[in-house]
Amino acid sequence: MLRALVPICLFAASIAAQAQYPSRPILLVVPYTAGSDADLAARNLAQHASKYLNGQSIVIMNQPGASGAIGTIAVRDAAPDGYRLLLSRIASQVILPATDRKTAYGANDFTFLSVLEVNPYVCAVKSDTPYQSMKDLIADIRKRPGKLNFATVGDGTLQNFGPQYLFSLVGLPKDAATGIPYKGSGDLTVSLLGGQTQFACSNLGALLPHFRSGALRPLMTTMREPLKDFPAAPTARSLGWPEMEKLAAWSALAGPKRLPADVSARWTDVFVKLARDSAWLAGVEAIGGIPAVRSPADSDKFVRDQYQFYEQLAERLGLRQ
């Protein structure tokens, strides 16, 4: 009888521990600026997850800099108690360490709790330009090498990686157009609207309102299927570049290494509920995302696979430093 009670007692203790966490507000670090894709994902999570966390609030702290490394390192070095978490993004979590060997962290330094969403990757121009598709833009770049600028949010980001990958696919040098770095996707969008840059390839979230208003024009998406709200925008596959489908951004929730098992279990329960929460799902769609909740183990594998892909691609393109 005593042996039979042991698993029950352990299970009850685990449930009790989960019920205790969190007992105070959780700080969610966003390693990019307000208005960025990471910020939008974090605020959507904070708004809807708190009702499954004893009503405790999730406080957003934007900590940008060094292509997302500053905020990411701040969480890596935090106490592993579940009260300082990271809105992990593809750029800071995968592309930066894959392209820069000096990056002070890797996947082994974090506990991944879940992927949140995948963000369609879209190339865009201001609507008053003559470019109707990415092929029009590439033709002009070929005619005038080095004359056009594109907006990025730093060297180790998808916004920089995508155009250079496309240049390699069409036989152009990686400096066929000049990348101009900005602090976040909000500033990137402003530069495009203001004409400081001629094009940008970025995540749908920050561009979406300006597609809807008509201020910006989508030239191409890397998604296999056309964009739901903009079906006329060509897919990369339809333009003859199916390799570009490998490029898509994502958000995940992570914490420091060695997060307690009860914290991880509590967040797993939260994400099971969020995956059925119509309000959170609507929020993901509103910021241009596709829900992609995974278990901690599957999330960890996903991030590691992404790192391997971008490391290999960085070597191919000569972008690994």
Angle at 140 between CA 135 and CA 144, to 5 degrees: 150
Does the residue 10 lie in any domain? no
Span between the terminal Cα atoms of the chain, in Å:
62
Q: Does one domain contain both 229 and 268? A: no
Span 13-36, average pLDDT: 79
Q: How large is the average pLDDT for residues 108-126?
A: 95
213 Cα distance to chain centroid = 24
Q: Is 308 a member of any domain?
A: yes
DSSP 235: B
Q: Which DSSP category does 186 fall into? A: H
Which pLDDT tens digit goes with each residue over 210-235?
A: 999 999 999 999 998 888 888 889 99
For the record, the structure tokens of 142 come out as 């070929």
Of 289, 301, 296, 268, which Cα lies nearest the Cα of 49? 268
Residue 217 is assigned to a structural domain of this protein: yes
Percentages (nearest 5) of helix, strand, coil residues in the chain: 45, 20, 35
- 130 and 231 together in one domain: yes
What would the pLDDT profile of 41-81 be if each residue is shown by its tens digit? 999 999 999 999 998 999 999 999 888 899 999 999 999 99
- Pair 241, 128 in one domain: yes
Are 112 and 259 found together in one domain? Answer: yes
Asked if residue 203 lies in contact with residue 185, where contact means CB atoms within 8 angstroms, the answer is: yes
Asked if residue 18 has pLDDT above 50, the reply is no
What does the mean pLDDT of the chain come to?
A: 89
Q: Is 148 exposed, middle or buried (0-12, 13-18, 19+ CB in 10 A)?
A: middle
pTM for this model (two decimals): 0.78
For residue 276, the SS3 value is: coil
Average pLDDT score over residue span 193-198? 95
Q: Cβ atoms within 10 A of the Cβ of 176, count?
A: 22
The number of distinct structural domains making up the chain is 2
Residues 143 and 209 in one domain: yes
pLDDT for position 206: 79
pLDDT at position 6: 34
Task: Using the 3D structure, point to which of 223, 246, 269 is the last residue of a domain.
Answer: 246
Place of tokens 């980001």: 157
**Domain shared by 34 and 102, yes or no:** yes
Answer whether residue 203 shows pLDDT above 60.
yes
115 and 261 inside one domain: yes
**Strand pairing category for 84-89 and 249-256:** antiparallel
Kindly state the average pLDDT of the residues 192-200. 95
Whether residues 60 and 198 share a domain: the answer is no
Tell whether 106 is covered by a domain: yes
Domain final position from 246, 261, 280? 246
- Rounded average pLDDT over 77-102: 93
68: left (phi over 0), alpha (psi -120 to 50) or beta: left
| Residue 106 pLDDT exceeds 90 | no
Question: Which of 141-145, 239-243, 285-289 comes out lowest in average pLDDT?
Answer: 285-289
**Comparison of pLDDT for 252 and 286, the residue scoring more:** 252
Q: How far apart are CA 40 and CA 44, in angstroms?
A: 6
Residue range of the domain that includes 209: 122-246
What pLDDT is stored for residue 125 in this prediction?
96
Q: Of 218, 246, 274, at which residue does a domain stop?
A: 246
CATH number at residue 91: 3.40.190.150
Burial 55-90 (b: 16+ CB within 10 A, else e): ebebebebbbebbbbebbbbbbebebebbbbbbbbb
Shared-domain flag, residues 283 and 302: yes
Domain-embedded: residue 104? yes
Residues 143 and 188 in one domain: yes
> Is residue 13 in some structural domain?
no
Residue 5 has pLDDT above 50, yes or no: no
Residues 37 and 59 in one domain: yes
pLDDT for 19: 54
Q: What is the mean pLDDT of residues 236-259?
A: 93
Residue 247 has pLDDT above 50, yes or no: yes
Classify each residue of 216-246 as buried b or exposed e, where b means 16 or more C-beta atoms within 10 Å of its C-beta. Answer: bbbbbbbbeeebeebeebbbbbebebeebee
